[in-house]
């Protein structure tokens, strides 16, 4: 029986391995790079859809979804938005930054009136997170006591009427980068 030249055998294995690597690099690497691009596009589409929602849609959300919606809303207005953990956030759901100014936000998607506890929590969170301002945003309304406390502490309140006005402004002027204060 003739001797088999193992050099040719290993050369064949090497050529097959090179062909496999070329295949992976040619087809699978671009596909792997496509996934983050698709995720980015889908996130953008979701944010655009979120910006078209109205108060009726917001009323159907749970608290976590309302926080996510607010994050998209403020991002569209030019803010860098950081979300805090869902639990143990010390009354702060979002941290907004723009032009070196930091604002902490508590989101309250409620059916009833928001009381003083929300104002107390976000005011304490302002110090804890080293923010310049604090605000509470709700799809509902605030009690008179909550309004008084907010006025004395400088906490900005967005109730249902203010939220409606902001949504209308966003619909009329999608590129508006309005201020939070006012």
Are residues 98 and 80 in contact, defined by beta-carbon separation less than 8 angstroms?
yes
Residue 178, pLDDT > 90, answer: no
Q: Which residue has the tokens 């608290």?
A: 63
- pLDDT band for position 158 (50/70/90)? very high
In the predicted model, what is the mean pLDDT of residues 124-146? 96
- pLDDT band for position 152 (50/70/90)? very high
End-to-end CA distance of the chain: 95
Cα–Cα distance for residue pair 22/32, rounded to 1 Å = 15
H or E stretch covering 95? strand 94-98
Are residues 116 and 86 in contact, defined by beta-carbon separation less than 8 angstroms?
no
The residue among 87, 83, 88, 42 whose CA lies nearest residue 66 is 83
Q: What is the pLDDT of residue 87?
A: 79
CA 32 from centre of chain: 25
- Which carries the bigger pLDDT value, residue 164 or residue 42? 164
Computed over every residue of the chain, the mean pLDDT equals: 84
pLDDT digits (tens, 9 = 90+) for 2-55: 656 677 777 788 888 888 888 777 777 677 777 777 666 666 566 555 555 677
Residue 182, pLDDT > 50, answer: no
Are residues 159 and 138 in contact, defined by beta-carbon separation less than 8 angstroms?
yes
Residue 1, pLDDT > 80, answer: no
Cα–Cα distance for residue pair 128/124, rounded to 1 Å = 6
Token pair, residue 36, equals 């983050």
């Amino acid at each position: 029986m003739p001797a088999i030249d193992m050099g040719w055998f290993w050369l064949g294995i090497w050529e097959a391995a090179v062909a496999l690597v070329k295949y992976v690099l040619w087809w699978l690497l671009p596909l792997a790079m496509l996934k983050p691009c698709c995720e980015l596009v889908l996130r953008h589409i979701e944010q655009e859809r979120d910006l078209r929602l109205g108060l009726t849609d917001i009323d159907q959300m749970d608290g976590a979804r309302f926080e996510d919606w607010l994050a998209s809303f403020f991002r569209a207005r030019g803010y860098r938005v950081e979300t805090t953990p869902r639990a143990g956030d010390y009354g702060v759901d979002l941290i907004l930054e723009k032009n070196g100014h930091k604002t902490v936000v508590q989101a309250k998607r409620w059916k009833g009136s928001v009381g003083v506890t929300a104002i107390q929590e976000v005011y304490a969170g302002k110090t804890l997170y080293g923010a310049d301002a604090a605000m509470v945003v709700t799809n509902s309304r605030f009690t008179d006591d909550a309004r008084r406390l907010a006025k004395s502490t400088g906490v900005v309140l967005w109730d249902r009427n203010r939220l409606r006005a902001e949504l209308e402004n966003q619909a009329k002027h999608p590129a508006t980068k309005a201020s939070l204060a006012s």
